[in-house]
Amino acid sequence: MAILGYDQHGHIAKPLCRRARHRACGFSNGQYLVGAAHALKIRGTRNLAVSFFGDGAINRGPFGESLNWASAYGLPVLFVCEDNQWSATTRTSDMSAGEGAAARARAYGVQAETVDGMDCEAVYRLAGRLIDEIRSDGRPRLLHALTYRFTGHVSVDPAGYRDPAEVAAARERDPIVIARARFEAQGIEPGRLDALEQAARAEIERAVAAAENAPWPSLETSRQEVQDLASPDWT
């Protein structure tokens, strides 16, 4: 199965093979994932959909609608809230009622667990357990990862609206630094970790170069694979 179409930031929607997964701003595509999960259920597969979104998304209506649908119909979805405490330029807690993503999920009958999002191993283990649980009872789960946004919301945002001391304190708990220290403590050679890091950097650089060198899409493609509400002649 494939999810087709484009979200606001372009060509993010990915072909679905065994798992549907998507990360989008403002929960713009979270509902697609619930639809995909519904299709997976109807087809009787053991596969599931994984929907990644930020803490800013939980104050948008589609978050509640998606939790409701997934819970009411018993759909195999893992909702993953990357709670970095900032919604663009606003501290999320300043504009959010109640106890946040996990409490909201529970109100809809969706089991939710909060984890230290700076601890890669803890996130990995919890995700694995929740995925196993979804596969066994077919019901949705929400993984709430508490983390911090080191930079601005986008590359042109210097994030001058927050205290540098808060950022510095969060950087002390950088998940990559924590993971590396833990691997070293487990006896993994630093040279091997350096090689992994270099390979990851090289892969990112190749991806950036490929994107920068790719041709712009044609005008025709902008209307392919998107919902068409019968407006044949916009142009």
Ligand X SMILES: Cc1ncc(C[n+]2csc(CCOP(=O)(O)OP(=O)(O)O)c2C)c(N)n1
- In the complex, the residues that contact ligand X under the rule CB under 6 A are 8, 25-26, 28, 54-57, 60, 84, 86-88, 149, 153
Selection from Mg ion, ligand X, none that 57 binds (CB < 5 to 8 A by kind) is ligand X
**3-state percent breakdown (helix, strand, coil) of the chain, nearest 5:** 45, 15, 35
CA atoms within 13 A on the CB side of 57: 27
Instruction: For the chain, report the end-to-end CA distance as a whole number of angstroms.
Output: 31
| Residue in 16, 27, 29, 54 binding Mg ion, rule: CB under 5 A | 54
Around 233, how many Cα atoms within 13 Å sit in the side-chain half-sphere? 0
Partner that binds at residue 117, options ligand X, Mg ion, none, CB closer than 5 to 8 Å by kind: none
Q: Are strands 90-91 and 141-146 parallel, antiparallel or unpaired?
A: unpaired
- Selection from ligand X, Mg ion, none that 151 binds (CB < 5 to 8 A by kind) is none
| Both structure tokens of 117 | 């999002």
| Residue 206 to residue 185: CA distance in whole angstroms | 31
Q: x/- contact string, 126-165, with Mg ion (CB under 5 A)? A: ----------------------------------------
C-beta of 23: minimal distance to ligand X in Å?
Answer: 9
CB of 10 to Mg ion, least distance (A): 20
Output the smallest distance, CB 200 to ligand X, in A.
21
Q: 49, 77 in Cβ contact below 8 A?
A: yes
User: Among ligand X, Mg ion, none, what binds residue 114 when CB lies within 5 to 8 Å by partner kind?
Assistant: none
Report, in Å, the least distance between residue 147 CB and Mg ion: 9
Q: How far is CA 200 from the centre of its chain?
A: 20
The entry of ligand X, Mg ion, none near residue 66 (CB within 5 to 8 angstroms by kind) is none
Helix (H, G, I), strand (E, B) or coil at 53: strand
Q: Is 175 in the site for Mg ion (CB under 5 A)?
A: no
Smallest distance, Mg ion to C-beta of residue 86, A: 5
Question: What are the tokens at 12?
Answer: 């993010």
Quick check: 57 binds Mg ion (CB under 5 A)? Answer: no
Nearer to Mg ion, 26 or 56 (CB): 56
Residue 28 interacts with which of ligand X, Mg ion, none, CB < 5 to 8 Å by class? ligand X
According to CB under 5 A, which residues from 81 to 120 bind Mg ion?
A: 84, 86
CA–CA separation, 21 and 50 (whole Å): 5
Alpha-carbon span 65 to 34, nearest angstrom: 10
Report residue 208 CA to chain centroid gap: 20
> Is residue 55 close enough to count as binding Mg ion by CB under 5 A?
yes
Residues in the site for Mg ion, rule: CB under 5 A? 54-56, 84, 86
